[in-house]
Amino acid sequence: MSELHGVFAPCASAEQLRERWLDPTARDRLAATLRAARRGGRWQDELSGLPHLDEVFHEDDALSGRDLRGAPLDGAPLAGADLRGADFFHASLHAADLSGADLRTAQLEGADLRDADLSGADLSEANLLAADLDGANLTGAVLDGALRSTRPGTADHAAVARHGFDFPPAAREALRARWLTTDGRRTLDAALDAARTGGDVAEELAGLDLLAPDGDGPDLRGAPLDGRDLAGARLRGVLLDGASAVGAVLTEADLTGAHVLDADFSRADLRGADLSRSWGRASFAQARLEGTRLCAAQLQGCDFRGVAMAGADLRAATLLYCVLPDEQLAVADTEGAFISPHGMQPPPP
């Protein structure tokens, strides 16, 4: 794999994955797959030989047979279907009927599940990272261990890290090390100055080692931001995977759509900052989130212990397995938010 994107990105874009289903043969096979799934048959067989755009993730035949990435499944009647291990990466399941479906270990990263009926579905060990669950019915759904970050497969299949989620230590250290050189420190200072003053952050980062692909936001993965003053910084879509911003001042900063996988915002001042549509897993322990916007954020496994969040805006956010006591939620706007399990407490010392 040639490039790092938080750290290993799929080679095919979501658009390419969707386009392959426009082929008449692919459409026919998809229809046959749905029929087999509803009957409880081996729907994987119906996908055998389907052209794949990203073979690196399908070296195992068992994995390629589950490939429904980017599939157009809006309104699909899949109640009670056995879809264990299905790969719905960026699939469109808007208003689909998945009630009572077996979705154990399913890959649902980035899937459109708006208004889908998932009541009674078994989502154990499923990956719901960045899935859109707005309006979805999850009554009685089983979400045990729904934090799985590797692609589904057999126990002996090598785990594949995606979008910086649980990325290997060596890659993590490589991303951090690029900031420790003289050029790296100079580049970081210039980029942060640009963010504060309305300059071109991407231009300042040009030439940085292991730079994320074009089209992604400013690449600050692994950046040492502890104690930095970034009040009012404009960093929309910023990649902060593995970054450390302990005690940083980010008041009124624009971090819309930020990637915060394994980022550390402990004791940071995020009052009035905009983290709408951000996604990932981060520590916000002891941070100040008064008036912070987290609208439609997709977060899992985050630590909100000791956070001050009066007036925080969590409308339509999805928070899975986050340590966020009820007394903190009580002072935030959680209209339309999906929080599971509710009122999760930190583990005993």
Percent of the chain scoring above 70 in pLDDT: 80
Token duo for residue 117: 């009926």
Quote the pLDDT of residue 165.
Answer: 44
Determine the pLDDT at residue 148. Answer: 36
> Residues 158-199: pLDDT tens digits?
222 333 345 556 677 888 999 999 999 999 999 999 999 999
Instruction: Give start and end residues of each alpha helix (H) in 124-256.
Output: 169-177, 182-197, 201-205
Least reliable range by pLDDT among 19-33, 55-69, 72-86, 206-220 = 55-69
pLDDT of amino acid 300: 85
| Confidence (pLDDT) at 104 | 92
pLDDT in tens, 110-132: 899 999 999 999 998 888 877 88
What is the predicted pLDDT for the residue at 136? Answer: 86
Question: Can you read off the two tokens belonging to residue 37?
Answer: 């799934």
Q: Are 322 and 302 in contact (CB under 8 A)?
A: yes
Question: Which neighbouring-strand residues pair with 293?
Answer: 274, 313
At the second CATH level, the architecture of 168-349 is 3 Solenoid (2.160)
pLDDT score for 282: 93
Q: Which residue has the tokens 């994320």?
A: 212
The arrangement of secondary structure in 1-161, i.e. its CATH architecture, is 3 Solenoid (2.160)
| DSSP summary character for residue 150 | S
Burial 90-107 (b: 16+ CB within 10 A, else e): bbbbbbbbbbbbbbbbbb
Among the residues of 103-255, which ranges form H helices? 169-177, 182-197, 201-205
- State the span(s) of the chain assigned CATH 2.160.20.80: 1-161
Mean pLDDT of 29-44: 87
Read off the pLDDT of each residue in 302-331 and give the average, rounded to a whole number. Answer: 90
What whole-number distance in Å separates Cα of residue 46 and Cα of residue 34?
9
- 341: how many CB neighbours lie within 10 A of its CB? 13
Residue 53: is its pLDDT beyond 50?
no
227-281 pLDDT, tens digit per residue, is 999 999 999 999 999 999 999 999 999 999 999 988 999 999 999 999 999 988 8
Average pLDDT of the residues in 103-115: 90
Residue-averaged pLDDT of the chain: 81
- Residue 34's H or E segment, with its range, is helix 24-39
